Amino acid sequence: MRPDLDYIERWISDGSHVLDLGCGDGSLLALLRKRKHITGYGLEIDTNNILACVRQGVDVIHQNLNEGLDDIDDQSFDTVIMTQSLQQTHKPDRIVEEMLRIGKQAIVTFPNFGHWTVRSYLALHGRMPVSEALPYTWYDTPNIHFFTFRDFEVLCRERHIKILERKVVDRNHQPNWKINLLPNLMGDIALYHITR
- Is pLDDT above 80 for 42? yes
Q: Which residues contact 172 (CB under 8 A, 6 or more apart)?
A: 3
Number of separate helices (H) and strands (E) present in the chain: 8, 7
- Is pLDDT above 70 for 47? yes
| 171, part of any domain | yes
Quote the CA–CA distance of 16 and 14 in Å, as a whole number. Answer: 6
Predicted local distance difference test score (pLDDT) of residue 122? 79
Is the four-CA dihedral 41, 16, 26, 141 of positive or negative sign?
positive
* Each residue's pLDDT tens digit, 140-195: 777 777 889 999 999 999 999 999 999 999 988 888 899 999 998 999 999 999 99
Compute the average pLDDT of residues 53-77.
95
Going by C-alpha positions, the residue among 183, 180, 187, 173 that lies closest to residue 10 is: 173
Q: Count of alpha carbons within 13 Å of 159, Cβ hemisphere only?
A: 22
Alpha helices in the chain (DSSP H): 3-10, 27-36, 47-55, 92-102, 116-125, 149-158, 177-181, 183-186
- CATH number of residue 165's parent domain: 3.40.50.150
- Is pLDDT above 70 for 35? yes
| 133, part of any domain | no
- Is pLDDT above 90 for 133? no
Predicted local distance difference test score (pLDDT) of residue 117? 82
| 138, part of any domain | no
| 24, part of any domain | yes
| 106, part of any domain | yes
Quote the CA–CA distance of 110 and 88 in Å, as a whole number. Answer: 10
- Is pLDDT above 70 for 32? yes
* Each residue's pLDDT tens digit, 85-127: 999 899 999 999 999 999 999 999 998 888 888 888 778 888 7
Predicted local distance difference test score (pLDDT) of residue 1? 60
| 25, part of any domain | yes
Q: Count of alpha carbons within 13 Å of 161, Cβ hemisphere only?
A: 27
| 121, part of any domain | no
Residues, the chain: 196
Going by C-alpha positions, the residue among 24, 20, 196, 11 that lies closest to residue 97 is: 196
Predicted local distance difference test score (pLDDT) of residue 156? 97
Predicted local distance difference test score (pLDDT) of residue 20? 98
| 167, part of any domain | yes
Q: Which residues contact 18 (CB under 8 A, 6 or more apart)?
A: 12, 29, 32, 38, 39, 40, 77, 78, 79, 80, 81
The residue range of the domain holding 164 is 3-111+147-195
Total number of domains in the chain: 1
